[in-house]
Amino acid sequence: MGLRNPFRRKGDSEKMRALTISSQIAAFVTLLFFIACMPPTNKFSSVWKDETYQERPKKVLVISAFKFPANRKLFEDDFVEVLKDRGIDAVVSYNVMPNPVVNDQDAIAHQAYAVGADAVLVNSPLDDQDELDISGGILFGESYLHSRTYVYDMKTNRMVFGATSESWIQKNKPYTDQIKSYVRELSKVMSKNRLI
């Protein structure tokens, strides 16, 4: 038989259990309030779609103009995965275009035809700000990254979708997770506009 605590009164364990549950609920409500007050990670300031374009791409060449190869690879790999999950074939450009040429339409068209793509998605920085390198792992600063994304239809040789965004690069959060988050949110915007 164990020793009994002479100072413990009847009903103390129920009170402690209720106090513990109350503390957990309070912590959960505080966390929800904190999350609700945080600024959005990715804000799409302008989105445009050619309403005459009613098709759905069958195969997309994904081009990212991220300066650091690891960032570019991560964006392209993630976006190809998202498109394939939605039943759209897609290919990365880093295998066939070592240096992304986002301003040379002839080079893009040549590469799209070479891989059999009927659409091209191009993502690039909107201004000349410094990009963060993910090779360092965790970030220790806060900044915003402005980018633009275009989708070109190769059959008609015209742009059918455009979006600009401002992404909050969060302090002490892996940049890899933030690129993945951006890809998911961009794909939702494209889906909402009936592009994918």
> In this predicted structure, what is the pLDDT of residue 96?
82
- Residue boundaries of the structural domains of the chain: 8-38, 39-192
Element (H, E) at 194: none
34: confidence class by pLDDT, cuts 50, 70, 90 = very low
**Which helix (H) or strand (E) is 58 found in, with range?**
none
pLDDT at res. 179: 83
pLDDT in tens, 150-159: 999 999 989 9
Question: Distance between CA 36 and CA 136 in Å, rounded?
Answer: 29
Segment 79-113, tens digit of pLDDT: 999 999 999 999 999 988 877 666 678 888 888 99
| Residue-wise pLDDT tens digits, 111-123 | 899 999 999 999 9
Whole-prediction pTM value? 0.71
d(CA 155, CA 80): 21
- Which tens digit of pLDDT belongs to each residue from 36-49? 334 447 678 889 99
The CATH number for 39-192, chosen from 3.40.50, 3.10.350, 1.10.600, 3.30.110, is 3.40.50
